[in-house]
Copies of this chain bind each other. A is one copy, B any other.
Amino acid sequence: MAKIFVAELIEGEPVTAFFLAKQIQVRPRKRGDPFATLTLADRTGELPAVMWEGAGDATSDLAEGDIVKVQGVLGSYQGTPQFTVGRLRKALPEEVELDDYLPRSEKDPQVLLAELKAVVDSLKEPHLQRLLQGLLADPEILQAWSQAPAAKGIHHAVLGGLLEHTVSVVGLCRLLADYYPAVDRDVLVAAAILHDLGKIRELTWDRVFDYTDAGRLLGHITLGTLLVEARIRAIPEFPEALAQRLLHCIVSHHGELEWGSPKRPKTLEAIVLHYAEDLDGKVNAFVNFVKSSPDPRRPGWTQYNRSLDRYLFFGGREDAVPSGEPPAGSEDAA
């Protein structure tokens, strides 16, 4: 049965389909069974849903994050769509193609990996090049790198997110190496490629995004350092000082001890990498939050952004919307 996606549902038309069940709440009623409210999701979006009958039994073996098979119909409630569930059961493993459910970066990982390979081919320092070519030729690493998210959070995490973030930081670092000639370009670029590689061992992405035990106990900075150092040791005559400068960039890229780096940046490349990574993350967070969370009652402003602890302003522009968005609705933002 072809997967029917959230974005394809038609109001009033009964369907049988598979979704990821996020947030399940069962609530009491005085008479009869409890009812349930759920969020149904797949990679195209998510939808509030309600199940009025049989919800107690149907949900008793469910955990949040399970894929479920539902029968029901899309209606609307208070002007927003709501799915009413008639029947529901846990999906069988063979019914599920995980890629249908987890959000995925819009960028093609093969294209991104090809970009990285081209960057690596352009390096002049032979040991760094050999190290990176080795990683990019390792099927296990490639597989993880093209799948891993960049973070656990439901909202900011997508399959392929780590690779997308990495390529964006690498691009910025190449610009900065051009702008500041004192920078050792090859070390900065290599460090940009490797700085978050430990996340492939810090996170899992097979059902929902979460931390591994090693991720919680050691963290991606230490896991990445262990991974890269072992690779370096396997390359004959890798210069000791070069290894230390590269590992230092990984170790210090959070910039301050209280942000999880056991050492603060002490080389020019480590300083530049820290700023590049931080800025790139902030720009992407801004652009995504403006898209996902404008304040409907206040043109030009977003809702409150918890991680930045402030409201963000995107209004007062002639174009009125961040680039890439259709200009419709720009009247509101004046």
Contact = CB atoms under 8 A, between A and B. Distances in A.
Nearest to A266: B313
Contact of A283 (B218, B251, B272, B317): B272
Interface in A144-188: 171-172, 175-176, 179-184
A238 interface: no
Interface stretch (A10-18, A132-140, A220-228): A220-228
A248 interface: yes
Contact of A60 (B50, B52, B78): B78
Copies in the complex: 6
A283 B263 contact: no
A182 B287 contact: yes
Given A221-B262, A230-B230, A248-B218, A241 B171 contact: no
A181 B324 CA distance: 8
Contact of A262 (B56, B171, B260, B264): B260
Interface of A: 26, 28-30, 34-35, 50, 52, 56, 60, 63, 77-79, 171-172, 175-176, 179-184, 213-214, 216-219, 221-222, 225-226, 229-230, 233, 239, 241-242, 244-245, 247-248, 251, 257-264, 266-268, 271-272, 275, 278-279, 282-283, 286-287, 297, 300-301, 310-317, 319, 322-324, 334
